[in-house]
Amino acid sequence: MWLARALQSQGFGSRKGCVLRVRSGAVSINGVVCDDPEHEVDPAGLELTIDGVTWPYREKAYVLLHKPAGYECSQKPKHHPSVYSLLPSPLIERDVQCVGRLDQDTTGLLLLSDDGQFIHRMTSPKKGVAKVYRATCADPVTDAALDALRNGVLLNDEPAPIAALACEALDTHTLQLTLAEGKYHQVKRMIAATGNRVERLHRVAIGAFSLPATLAPGSWCWLEAADLQQLETPWPSAKS
């Protein structure tokens, strides 16, 4: 693959723009400046440095964002800034999409990718990929509420009760809930159906992959092959 083409594929602008960028001497391959746009590169293990910023070549982009509160999972947000404003422009240019949505006030693990098949696998209710949430409630969590969440609660507009895959109290007001689907406001509505109210909601895991404690709110990182495998690990291997 030509260097300029590799650069373009990573979201660094038009073909012409990438050619000019390479010619200007702004691009290094594995640390060595190359000003020939037609220089052949091997994408495997390729690391580009563009204007001093190092960028690993990725055929598809899989990224993890620690979503802070106060951001909308929309490219056209209405009342709050967009989570996309927390990502660098090459990822936006590659058109990465949120893998399911979190409410503006929900924090935690949010995936973004430009791989449509991956997005489908992670979000399709048929695949049943487990999503693990930690909900802090306004009132104490009762045993009756935990039983109801495990056995199924009826939500408006749903034909049948929906049960959590797992549900446990972490302290008097906090519970951890594992769901197989991602319906609109699902956690808040399920907990409301038990007569309680969610005050804070945090997604801690998807599949067997947990949000790393080292990733600060508002920060993002690339996902590696082992992370992707953990994400797609079917329930009941999910852990928080």
Site residues (CB under 6 A) for ligand URA?
102-103, 106, 185-188, 201
Nearest to ligand URA of 183, 239 (CB atom): 183
Select 5 or 188, whichever has its Cβ closest to ligand URA: 188
Q: Of 6 and 201, which CB lies nearer to ligand URA in the complex structure? A: 201
The single-letter code of the amino acid at 94 is: R
φ and ψ at residue 122, rounded to 5 degrees: -80, -25
Rounded to an integer, what distance in angstroms lies between the CA atom of residue 101 and that of residue 84? 12
Please say whether the beta carbons of 196 and 138 come within 8 A: yes
CB 236 within 8 Å of CB 180: no
Minimum gap (Å) between residue 19 Cβ and ligand URA = 43
Q: Looking at beta carbons only, is 58 or 67 nearer to ligand URA?
A: 67
| CB-based contact 211:218 (threshold 8 Å) | no
The first and second tokens of residue 92, run together, are 């936006």
Who's near 18: CB < 8 A, 6+ residues apart? Answer: 4, 5, 7, 8, 12, 37
Find the shortest distance in angstroms from Cβ 199 to ligand URA. 12
Q: Active site residue: 35, 51, 95, 103, which one?
A: 103
**DSSP letters along 206-221, please?**
ETTEEPPTTS-TT-EE
Looking at residue 59, its amino acid is E
C-beta of residue 167 within 8 angstroms of C-beta of residue 176: yes
- Residue 13 or 100 with smaller CB distance to ligand URA: 100
CB of 209 to ligand URA, least distance (A): 17
Give the N- to C-terminal CA distance of the chain in Å, as an integer. Answer: 41
Identify the H or E element spanning 18: helix 15-23
In the complex, what is the shortest distance from the CB of residue 113 to ligand URA, in angstroms, rounded to a whole number? Answer: 18
Active-site annotation holds for 42: no
CB of 153 to ligand URA, least distance (A): 13
Please give the positions annotated as active site: 103
